[in-house]
Amino acid sequence: MGFDEMDVDTIWMDGDFVDWEDAKVHVLTHGLHYGSGIFEGARCYETEDGPAIFRWPEHLDRFYDSAKPYEMEIDHTREELTEATCELIRRQDLSSCYIRPLAFYGYESLGVSPGDCPTRTAIAVWPWGTYLGQDALENGIDVMVSSWRKHASSQVPTNAKTTGLYVNSMLAGEEARRNGYAEAIVLNKEGNVAEGPGENIFLVRDGDLYTPGLAESILDGITRETVITLARELGYTVHDGATISRGELNTADELFFTGSAAEVTPIKRVDNVEIGDGSRGPVTEAIQTRFFDVVERRTDDHEEWFTYP
């Protein structure tokens, strides 16, 4: 569904609520030319107690942390961004939505150095269902190992959610879709498993969970950390600093992606090699069920993870 088909009409921009069609920037905006922006992606879930934003403080922490390598000063406090987000949800009467905070160097000059370019900040919210489709959550997806490698943290900060760096993700994802796959897996420069274009990845072997560590050029995913916590609560052993070779993907008992958009999505084939029995495995299903029980508030625990507009 495109934005024109959605019942949303307001965006918060630099401290003001503006009409959706008026949220514009100059064509010579620095961030448009050099990818000099940072962003977040969070979800607000429909619950019996009303809309509930999942792990909003953690998303804000990463948002401000992402700005640091670029010496980007965000001219708004966490409290301002929180109130703006909650007001957007209230104004547009959204029971659930995706939330996109964005900050970028704006219009002033166009050297590679941002110089005196101002930092612009915006927040948009809109309805967004399952990222890879409802069938994907239940039956899993086919993925391929991309020919594109993930950039190393010695080249650019992989722990910052930077707009320009997602061309790497776009290339990998589009390569996969051109070849008939739903998504890609990206290897790091050493040839080990890093992540998906917009997801972290978990491998299940003999009942234990393995996920690449932060040194493997991955983004420190908030859903990744959530799944680690929930899996351990369920009694699983989680190796969260793992190095996973490409070959281990093919011999895994189960694989699944995690992310704010992807949530918990099983992987049923890699490069046409069937994973396990080619369906959502029991460990993935248990973690996925627990995840949705928590985020949709069918259980009372982890109340600290939620912000109510």
Model pLDDT, residue 1: 66
Give strand ranges (E) for the chain.
10-13, 16-19, 37-39, 42-47, 50-54, 97-105, 119-126, 141-149, 183-187, 193-195, 200-205, 208-212, 238-242, 254-259, 263-270, 273-274, 306-307
Model pLDDT, residue 133: 76
Model pLDDT, residue 2: 81
Nearest by Cα to 35 from 196, 199, 168: 168
Total Cβ atoms within 10 A of residue 153: 17
| Residue 145 φ then ψ, to 5° | -80, 120
Q: Residue type for 215, please?
A: A
**Cα dist from 146 to 15, 194, 195, whole Å:** 40, 11, 11
Model pLDDT, residue 92: 96
Rg (CA), the chain: 19
Model pLDDT, residue 131: 76
CA distance 173 to 286: 27
Quickly list DSSP for 277-297: TSS--HHHHHHHHHHHHHHTT
Nearest by Cα to 12 from 71, 59, 82: 82
Which listed residue (68, 161, 189, 268) is catalytic?
161
Angle between helices 222-233 and 56-67 (to 10 degrees): 140
Model pLDDT, residue 6: 81
DSSP state of 160: S
pLDDT one digit per residue (tens) for the chain, 309 residues? 688 778 899 999 999 999 999 999 999 999 999 999 999 999 999 999 999 999 999 999 999 999 999 999 999 999 999 999 999 999 999 999 999 999 999 999 999 999 999 999 999 999 988 777 788 999 999 999 999 999 998 999 999 999 999 999 999 999 999 999 999 999 999 999 999 999 999 999 999 999 999 999 999 999 999 999 999 999 999 999 999 999 999 999 999 999 999 999 999 999 999 999 999 999 999 999 999 999 999 999 999 999 999
Model pLDDT, residue 188: 97
Q: Residue type for 152, please?
A: A
- Identify whether 161 is a catalytic site residue: yes
DSSP state of 158: T
Cα 203–193–58 angle (5° rounding)? 75
CA distance 136 to 141: 6
